[in-house]
A and B are shown apart, each in its own frame.
Chain A
Amino acid sequence: MSETMSFGEPDPDLNPDQILGWLDDSTLHSPLILDDLYCTMDDPWFGLDPIDAKTISSSSSSSPIVDLFITDQPQQAASELSKKQKAPEDHTPRVGKNSSGNKKGAGKSAKGDNNIGSNKNGRWAEQLLNPCAAAITTGNMTRVQHLLFVLNELASPSGDANYRLAAHGMQALLHHLHCYQYPHRPDGRLEKAPSFTTSTPKLFKQSLIYFNDINPWFTIPNNIANNAVLQVLSEQDHGSCNALHILDIGVSHGFQWPTLLEALSRRPGGPPPLVRITVVPPTLDNHQLPFASCPPGYDFASNILRFAKDVDINLQFNKLDNIPLRNLNADAISFSEDETLIVCAQFRLHGISHNEPDDRTEFLKLMRNMSPQGVILSDNNMDCSCDNCSSFDSGFARRLDYLWSFLDSTSVAFKGRDMEERRVVEGEAAKALISMCEMNERKEKWGERMNGVGFVKHAFADDVVDQARALLRKYDSRWEMRVEDRSVGLWWKGQPVSFCSLRKTD
Chain B
Amino acid sequence: MVIFLTKTHQFPKGGLCSPPRERIEKKRKAALTGGGQLRIAAQHKRGKLTARERLELLLDPDSFVECDMFVEHRCSDFGMEADHNKYPGDSVVTGQGRINGRLVYVFSQDFTVFGGSLSGAHAQKVCKIMDQAMMVGAPVIGLNDSGGARIQEGVESLAGYADIFLRNVMASGVVPQISLIMGPCAGGAVYSPALTDFTFMVKDTSYLFITGPDVVKSVTNEDVTQEELGGAKTHTTVSGVAHRAFENDVDALLNLRDFFNFLPLSNKDPAPVTECHDPRDRPVPGLDTIVPFESTKAYDMLDIVHGVLDEREFFEIMPNYAKNIVVGFARMNGRTVGIVGNQPKVASGCLDINSSVKGARFVRFCDAFNIPIITFVDVPGFLPGTAQEYGGIIRHGAKLLYAFAEATIPKITVITRKAYGGAYDVMSSKHLRGDVNYAWPSAEVAVMGAKGAVQIIFRGKENQAEAEAEYVEKFANPFPAAVRGFVDDIIQPSTTRKRICRDLEVLASKKQTNPWKKHANIPL
Instruction: Say whether A and B bind each other.
Output: no
